[in-house]
Homo-oligomer: A and B are copies of this chain.
């Protein structure tokens, strides 16, 4: 079968995902109108097969993950998703069916998250499949929640649960040292963890609660312990928390019960795509109610105090934990 040319591929597979600003993907660029009183929030994440996802993951899941990791950044800034540009580096052996499934997954997430394709670029690469998405959101003027805005006395909250995706990645890899705890999970628990790695759940619904109550917020993507430290360092603050304060799923608790070493993976493994935020004490109830109204589970993990010393996390016996790597590093 003759391959689609780049122009045909764009016209048949990607143009249907374009919103009004995408100009049917027929122009050199996209056009984005911004309402008076709004500011834009822009983020860009790049994903490479074999580094950020498995090349044999379902194509619709690859597309969704690439979009969702960007939506998670917008969510943490309290921005409403508006549009995105897609850079797609395709290996020489790409198949039309694969690309159609990829676009279908992207299209479903465009609907779910009310975002549309603005443009992009499709190129050939001799390397692995490479995706680069730039996502654009909007906030009312002055309402982007900064990463560094926490104040002494603020209480920190975390959405969802931590560590699932990192455990899910270990499940996928199934290394010898992990097989005991992996074997102890039932199929529902294992599937839950695998799915949390495959398909992040960006907390876009939290934006009203953040705009109304948060001093600071960030997306937890490079490991809870390291990202917590990043937020507090920017603000000249520190915190001491018990590991028991960190919200865990039932599946993660089962893994941890089978293998206590899983705690390090949970707290530093990355790929959580949950939101960490700082809420002043008098606003805790309002924030919790607003998050609950949006259907998003939040858990308080502790109060930050002035100080430059590193974040301390204690285990159930009160002993200070130390991690080989506080944060996932891409290098």
A259 interfacial by beta-carbon distance below 8 Å: no
Q: Beyond A33-B141, A51-B125, A134-B134: 4 further Cβ-contacts under 8 Å?
A: A28-B218, A46-B122, A48-B125, A87-B132
Q: Residue of B at shortest CB range from A45?
A: B121
Of A6, A36, A121, A329, which is in contact with the most chain B CB atoms at under 10 Å from its CB?
A121
Inter-chain contacts of A39 with B (CB < 8 A) = 31-34
Q: Which of A28, A33, A41, A48 has the most CB of B within 10 A?
A: A28
Q: Complex formed: what's the CA distance from A148 to B23 in Å?
A: 10
Please indicate the chain B residues that have their CB under 8 angstroms from the CB of A134 in the complex: 42, 44, 85, 87, 134
Instruction: Report whether B329 and A29 are in contact in the complex, using a CB–CB cutoff of 8 Å.
Output: no
Select the stretch in A69-77, A171-179, A289-297, A313-321 that faces chain B.
A69-77
B30 touches A41 (CB 8 A): yes
Interface string of A107-127 (1 = CB under 8 A from B): 000000000001111111111
**CB of A310 closer than 8 Å to a CB of B:** no
Q: Are A6 and B124 in contact (CB under 8 A)?
A: no
Quick check: is A27 within 8 A (CB to CB) of the other chain? yes
Q: Is there contact, CB below 8 Å, between A42 and B29?
A: yes
Minimal Cβ-Cβ distance residue in B for A86: B44
Q: Which of A79, A118, A123 has the most CB of B within 10 A?
A: A123
**Which listed residue, B47, B52, B85, touches A42 by the CB 8 Å rule?**
B85
Q: How far is the CA of A76 from the CA of B87 in the complex (A)?
A: 20
With beta carbons under 8 angstroms apart, the residue of B5, B126, B218 that contacts A51 is: B126
12 contacts between A and B (CB under 8 A): A26-B147, A28-B219, A29-B144, A30-B41, A31-B41, A31-B42, A36-B36, A46-B132, A51-B125, A51-B126, A87-B87, A125-B130
Q: Identify A147's interface contact among B27, B123, B330, CB under 8 A.
A: B27
Task: Please tell me if A50 contacts chain B, counting CB pairs below 8 Å.
Answer: yes
A32 vs B144: C-alpha distance when bound (angstroms): 10
Q: Is the CB of B147 within 8 A of A329?
A: no
Assembled-state Cα–Cα distance A132/B219 (Å): 22
**CB-defined interface of A125-140 with B at 8 Å, one 1/0 digit per residue?**
1111010101011000
B119 and A48 form a contact (CB under 8 A)? no
The docked-state distance in angstroms from the alpha carbon of A6 to that of B77 is 22
Chain B nearest CB, measured from A310 CB (Å): 15
A279 to chain B, nearest CB (A): 18
